[in-house]
Structure 1
Amino acid sequence: MKALFLAGVTCVVTAFGAQAQEIATVYPFEGSFDDATFSVESAIIGRGLVIDHISNTGEMLNRTAADVGSDVKIFDGADVFLFCSAVLSRKMMEADPLNLAHCPYGIFVADRAGEVTIGYRNYPEGAMQEVQAFLDEIVREAVGE
């Protein structure tokens, strides 16, 4: 079981780099993890949006590693900011009610061995591309572009 889990973690870690362009759009951040999380939070709130939840994914993975038989530290820090835009969400769900599956929207901040990145999940073609463009604006602001 431990070998199977470790193989899965290895696949995820490898996928984070190799397939990240397909799964997510990621930008490097020049600064600390804490500075990056502050920057993301400020960019979201600055648009009048409310952050519904901050998932401290990195802390959870580190805290539970031994419980699942792993000694692999994937992230030094990893948080996911979850939020919605009433305007965009309504528009997306009027276009297709199944776009509910993409809500809430998320922007992540990750620190792996001192390399801090900010990104978001890529969405399917069609109406959700407007949301993806909106997330890209927020992330670009957060990284200082």
Structure 2
Amino acid sequence: MKHWITVGLIAAATTAAAEEPFMYVTDQSFDDVTFGLESAIIDAGLVVDHISHTGDMLERTRADVGSDVVLFEAADVYSFCSATVSRSVMEANPLNLMYCPYDIFVAVLADKPGETIIGFRPYPDGPMQEVHDLLDGIARAAIGLE
């Protein structure tokens, strides 16, 4: 079965107020994309440090915070780091520490159940583009674009 992939990379402003993620949309299932993401991280020689089950937490606490809005069918954030890339960007500026670890999210929005999104936050121009390239390659590999 061939899957469609929208390679509509969303351009992002680097200001905090206008920050939009870089993301890809696919008709692959959430489970297939998260499996692909875990595989792509491992294939890059990296280790998943943490998986945040953000969608589950928001659904579990929805009534407790007085909301009736269902945001996601599923949403996880994968955190990991690269010693090589981290050293490179932190040698350029030790304060690039604030961007570590690196995260890639996978989500199915409640109002778009046939679409799985994979993406990551934008990084500032300069040395941090090395992190952007790493995350973009991993996200693309996760959905079969690499």
TM superposition score normalised by structure 1:
0.84
TM superposition shift of 1:29: 2.1
Contact 1:52 1:83 in 2 (8 A): yes
Instruction: Give the corresponding residue for 1:92.
Output: 89
Matches within 5 A, 1:14-25: 21-22=11-12, 23-25=20-22
Instruction: Give the corresponding residue for 2:141.
Output: 141
TM superposition shift of 1:36: 0.8
Partner amino acid, structure 2, of 1:56: H
Distance 1:21 1:111 in 2: 20
What fraction of aligned residue pairs are identical, expressed as a percent? Answer: 58
TM superposition shift of 1:47: 1.1
Count of aligned pairs between the two proteins: 126
How large is the RMSD of aligned CA atoms in angstroms? 1.0
TM superposition score normalised by structure 2:
0.83
Instruction: Give the corresponding residue for 1:120.
Output: 120
SS at match of 1:123: coil
SS at match of 2:91: helix
Unaligned stretches of 5+ residues in structure 1: 1-19
Correspondent of 2:100 among 103, 108, 119: 103
Distance 1:103 1:88 in 2: 10
Instruction: Give the corresponding residue for 1:63.
Output: 60
- Choose between structure 1 and 2: higher helix proportion: 1
Unaligned stretches of 5+ residues in structure 2: 1-9, 13-19
TM superposition shift of 1:21: 3.8
Instruction: Give the corresponding residue for 2:69.
Output: 72
Contact 1:28 1:143 in 2 (8 A): no
Distance 2:107 2:49 in 1: 19
Distance 1:118 1:131 in 2: 16
Partner amino acid, structure 1, of 2:80: F
Distance 1:123 1:35, change over 3 A: same
